[in-house]
């Protein structure tokens, strides 16, 4: 089994689609204008090989539920600059050992938490197993 798609509820799907395309390298592949086939207006994006659906609706409450995107460590300053350009709320990273990688946490316009992370699952598991 694999994930089919991930849906985010956004109050302004045009603004959110622009953010996702610029920040995550997404490509818009569908817009429901002028026909609405679902419960609200929607846009479909591809980020890498992942189908991301944006649907119009009310924002959610902030939480630690999040999606992390892998980035190169050298790209951290570039992404931080983009986040500041968009006026997004950057959160302090949790305490972690350098071997786990570095992260930038931020909320988008609708309180979805994202993480830009430089580590990998393999490196984290290696660190955890050697820490005992």
Catalytic position from the list 28, 42, 61, 80: 42
The answer to whether 115 is a known catalytic residue is no
By the 8 A CB rule, do 105 and 114 touch?
yes
Q: Which residue has the tokens 């580590």?
A: 119
By the 8 A CB rule, do 90 and 113 touch?
no
Describe the crossing of helices 13-24 and 76-85 by its angle, rounded to 10 degrees.
160
Would you name the residues annotated as active-site residues?
A: 42
């Amino acid at each position: 089994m694999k994930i089919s798609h991930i849906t985010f509820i956004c109050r302004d799907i045009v603004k959110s689609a622009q953010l996702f395309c610029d920040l995550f390298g997404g490509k818009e592949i569908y817009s429901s204008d002028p026909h609405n086939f679902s419960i609200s207006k929607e846009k479909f994006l591809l980020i890498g090989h992942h189908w991301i659906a944006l649907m119009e609706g009310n924002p959610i409450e902030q939480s630690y539920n999040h999606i992390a995107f892998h980035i190169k460590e050298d790209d951290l300053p570039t992404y931080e600059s983009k986040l500041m350009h968009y006026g997004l709320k950057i959160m302090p990273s949790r305490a972690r050992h350098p071997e786990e990688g570095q992260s930038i946490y931020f909320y988008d316009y609708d309180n979805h938490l994202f993480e830009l992370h430089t580590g990998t699952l393999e490196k984290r598991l290696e660190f955890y197993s050697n820490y005992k």
